[in-house]
Amino acid sequence: MPESVHTRSRRRRFVRALLGAAMVGWFGQAAGAVPLQVEVRVKGGRAELTRDGKDYFVHGVGGDSHLELLAACGGNSIRTWGVGDVTAALLDEAQKRGVSVTLGVWLNRTGAGMDYSNEEALARQASSLERAIKAHRKHPALLMWAIGNEMEGDGNDPLVYVQLERLAQLAHSLDPDHPTMTVIAEMGGGKKIRDLDRLAPSIDVIGINSYGLAPTVGKRYVEAGGKRPYMLTEFGARGHWESPSTPYGLPIEETSTAKAENYRRAYEEAVRDQPLCIGSYAFLWGDKQETTATWYGMLLPDGTRLGCVDVMTELWTGKAPRNLCPAIEGQIGIQGIPNAKDIHPGDRFKVTVDARDPERNKLDVEWVLRRASAGKGSFGQREEPMPDLPRSIVSSKRLSAQILLPDEPGVYRLFAYVRDGKGGGATCNVPLRVVEP
């Protein structure tokens, strides 16, 4: 079995003996701290992940907030994209909540400020990884190292994979107790998987970010020749780049209710019962402005959970929550304007949202008008939030509101935030182009 499958028990014992129990750890770590040994292997065609000698299937999310809620929902792991000043505190909080952490070490993307033929830049990456590992390798909440996230770009630069191999070898030499993973954006028609097999055999786990095509990841991974354990490391809402757009170029966002089913299908078809899959990280545990304020977040800024959280809770635990989130049927309805595609500054009209609550809790709707973001969500970067335009919400009652458009032409989005008063919510929005008469 290749060494990249992280069955290095004899080497671990040797390293421990060499270091000695009294050795003082780096960055203030207690010398006597004992990490939980994590191993991953493929046996009989099935991937196995063990933590402290026990089987461990990753029920995870990407993000680092609301860990108490995550644990209550049945989640057992979080994934980060980088290491920083708050990492030690995050690990402590995760340990307190019974949550493991896959620590990401950021690698700049090829073609976006990073030249993988520049030896000085490569050395800086190695130094950054070394510092991170020495600082956190003994923490009992640590699950594995995620070396890079989508750093390969289109996948056509083999030097990226050569560097990944160097970094994986470095990680194993510094921390024999935790596996290494790298995370790629889709599979490039299978080419990325084949190149990783050929050029980076010391990577233990392949992480795959996939959105609209997430349900087919398991099938496509095997077809590409993948033999190592994999995880679905980002999935959820259909990507804004994969979604239909308005005639004026704004992507059309699905309701949170529709998105929840995307999470379900991805998990059931690409994670559950897939022989080589050792778990997943749903995206995104928290909220984020990317294309819109609601496109990818599983929670609202106040911690209100959306329908995808209910779905993941059921998938993780086998039981749906006692109180389910509200559901939205269809999109926001616009009344009082014959052609909603042709609206003008100062127009006033009524809007409605068709929302229901499974437990018949009273629903509250917050209506918000914002200018549409000019950002296109490039490479997942967080955008500046668009300010609310509160004067445009003239009045609201139950599931409807009176809207007064601003005097300035432009492209806007009208959001409906539905809450049930029990911690559950739902969202939808509609793009509006305001033009001069």
Question: Going residue by residue through the chain (437 aa), what tens digit of pLDDT does each one get?
Answer: 333 344 443 334 333 433 333 233 333 344 456 789 999 999 999 999 999 999 999 999 999 999 999 999 999 999 999 999 999 999 999 999 999 999 999 999 988 889 999 999 999 999 999 999 999 999 999 999 999 999 999 999 999 999 999 999 999 999 999 999 999 999 999 999 999 999 999 999 999 999 999 999 999 999 999 999 999 999 999 999 999 999 999 999 999 999 999 999 999 999 999 999 999 999 999 999 999 999 999 999 999 999 999 999 999 999 999 999 999 999 999 997 766 667 999 999 999 999 999 999 999 999 999 999 876 655 567 788 899 999 999 999 999 999 999 999 999 999 999 999 999 999 999 999 999 98
Residue 179 tokens read as: 């596996």
Closest CA to 368 of 344, 345, 385: 385
d(CA 47, CA 35): 22
Q: What is the pLDDT of residues 334-372, one digit of tens each?
A: 997 766 667 999 999 999 999 999 999 999 999 999 999
Place of tokens 């007064």: 404
d(CA 10, CA 188): 37
User: Is the bond into 369 cis (omega within 30 degrees of 0)?
Assistant: no
The domains found in the chain, sorted by start residue, are 3-317 (3.20.20.80), 327-434 (2.60.40.1930)
Kind plus residue range of the DSSP H or E element containing 326: none
Inter-helix orientation angle 158-174/191-199, to 10° = 50
- Classified as helix, coil or strand, 118 is coil
Residue 139 tokens read as: 């923490």
Neighbours of 396 (CB within 10 A): 16
Helices vs. strands in the chain: H and E counts, helices first: 9, 20
d(CA 260, CA 251): 18
Residue 279 tokens read as: 């778990």
Closest CA to 320 of 335, 330, 307: 307
**pTM (global) more than 0.85:** yes
Which is it for strands 425-434 and 205-209: parallel, antiparallel or unpaired? unpaired
